[in-house]
Amino acid sequence: MLRDLTLLALRNLGARKARSALTLIGIAIGMTAVVALISLSLGAQRAIERQFAKLGADVILVVPAGSLGEPRPAPLDLSLLKNIAGVRSVGAVRREILPVKSAATPGFLTVVGVRSFDDGEKLFGGLELAGGRLFLSGEDEVVLGAGAARDLKVALGDSITIQNRAFRVVGLLKPTRNDQDDYALYLSLAKLEEFVDEKGFVSIVFVRAAPGIDTTALAQEIQKTLRESVTEREFLVQSSKQLSDLVSGVLTVLRWTLGAIAGVSLLVGGIGLTNTMLMAILERTHEIGILRAIGAGREHIIMLFLLESSLLGLLGGLIGLIIGGAIAQSVAMAAQQFLRTDLFSVAFDGTLIAGSLGFSVVLGAIAGLWPAWRAAQLSPIEALRYE
């Protein structure tokens, strides 16, 4: 019986191609908006979580407060942090814009001075070497981001100058799709301070907690120490887990907000589907009478109309899923190409696919519930008389 009703529902939809197509468009537009916005926001959340995971769950960030965008360097005695109980090691970076030139290209470049953790790591944030090695702190050596190396037209072993002082390129980094990292030059923090007047300044400090130490409690202790010891500048202290949870929470709220806004258009499509099914009752009253006359019960009429509305919802959801995924992927590719950031990525997994299709089927069934009930209440005799 279910198979026969399904085939009949498909024939009925095919017999009214124009009306079915318009109804599908209404459902598809709403689902397109929902899928595109959710997949992009979920992709951004996962990209940020990957960035924090590269830092490590045991790392606490100390950043100068009071500046918009990239934090400006502020004075800080790193020994204050290293002497706090529970701190395993302290690393720091300082970013400055300095004149840099190669044999082929002169210009200005972001120069990043790095003080490594005590266990030998030189760079932070998951930056990886594509070739060569890391610089030695006591030597005039640099590591270049992929974009900086390309613009300066240099390779391993070549020489560049920073304020007319020669440095040898000993390492090249893998592309990160982040201009802040790709178009930068890395050297030891001590070497960078030889080019600037203000000593002891940092842009970001990385504090690694000792094994077994609660990073949240340690972050609070660091904040307390800085407030008692540093009066010239306020610092923000957050563990990488706290920052990751904060950003994830904001993006989750944003995702649901955008989904709700896009869901309004999906709701409009559902109302259009209800109207289509109500019109179908008027057009097919005689047909309903015939079905009742040959033995179809009210439950069969309800099932027939619910199958039709559910199929419309499923097809509209499938079209919207395909188009929404294509739009989201196009936006992500354009952002990666022109903005050079991987934060615009797409999370298009089985959960999103199943959820979208399931929701569209449920929406179709709900939209067709009242029309199906009305069709089932028609008197067989009156329906057969209807012309």
Tens of pLDDT, residue by residue over 100-112, are 998 888 888 999 9
Tell me how many helices (H) and strands (E) the chain has: 12, 12
Q: Is the pTM of this model over 0.75?
A: no
pLDDT at 111: 93
- 135 token code pair: 């610089």
What 3-state DSSP class applies to 157? coil
Q: What is the DSSP letter of 175?
A: P
> What average pLDDT does range 324-328 have in this prediction?
89
Angle subtended at Cα 313 by Cα 309 and Cα 319, rounded to the nearest 5 degrees: 145
Give the model's pLDDT for residue 144.
93
212 backbone dihedrals φ, ψ, rounded to 5° = 85, 0
| pLDDT score of 54 more than 80 | no
In this prediction, residue 172 has a pLDDT band, given cuts at 50, 70 and 90, of: very high
**What is the per-residue pLDDT for 124?**
75
Q: What is the mean pLDDT of residues 202-224?
A: 88
Comparing 197 with 2, the larger pLDDT belongs to 197
In this predicted model, what pLDDT tens digit does every residue of 57-91 receive, in sequence order?
Answer: 788 888 887 655 566 788 888 888 888 898 888 88
**Alpha-carbon span 340 to 336, nearest angstrom:** 5
- Closest by CA position to 164, among listed 114, 106, 110: 106
Name the amino acid, one letter, at 270. Answer: G
Q: Are strands 106-115 and 184-188 parallel, antiparallel or unpaired?
A: parallel
Tell me: pLDDT of 316 over 70. yes
**Is residue 164 pLDDT above 60, yes or no?**
yes
Rounded to whole angstroms, the Cα distance separating 48 from 243 reads 10
Is residue 167 predicted with pLDDT exceeding 90?
yes
Please report the pLDDT score of residue 39 as a whole number: 86
Q: How confident is the model at residue 359 (pLDDT cuts 50, 70, 90)?
A: confident
**In contact, 266 and 363? CB cutoff 8 Å:** yes
The 10s digit of each residue's pLDDT in 364-380 is 888 888 777 777 776 66
Predicted pLDDT of residue 121: 56
The region of weakest confidence among 90-94, 119-123, 227-231, 329-333 is 119-123
Q: What is the mean pLDDT of residues 232-245?
A: 78
Q: For residue 305, what pLDDT band results from cuts at 50, 70 and 90?
A: confident
Q: Are strands 141-144 and 165-173 parallel, antiparallel or unpaired?
A: parallel
- How far is the C-alpha of 337 from the C-alpha of 240, rounded, in Å? 28
C-alpha Rg value of the chain to the nearest Å? 31
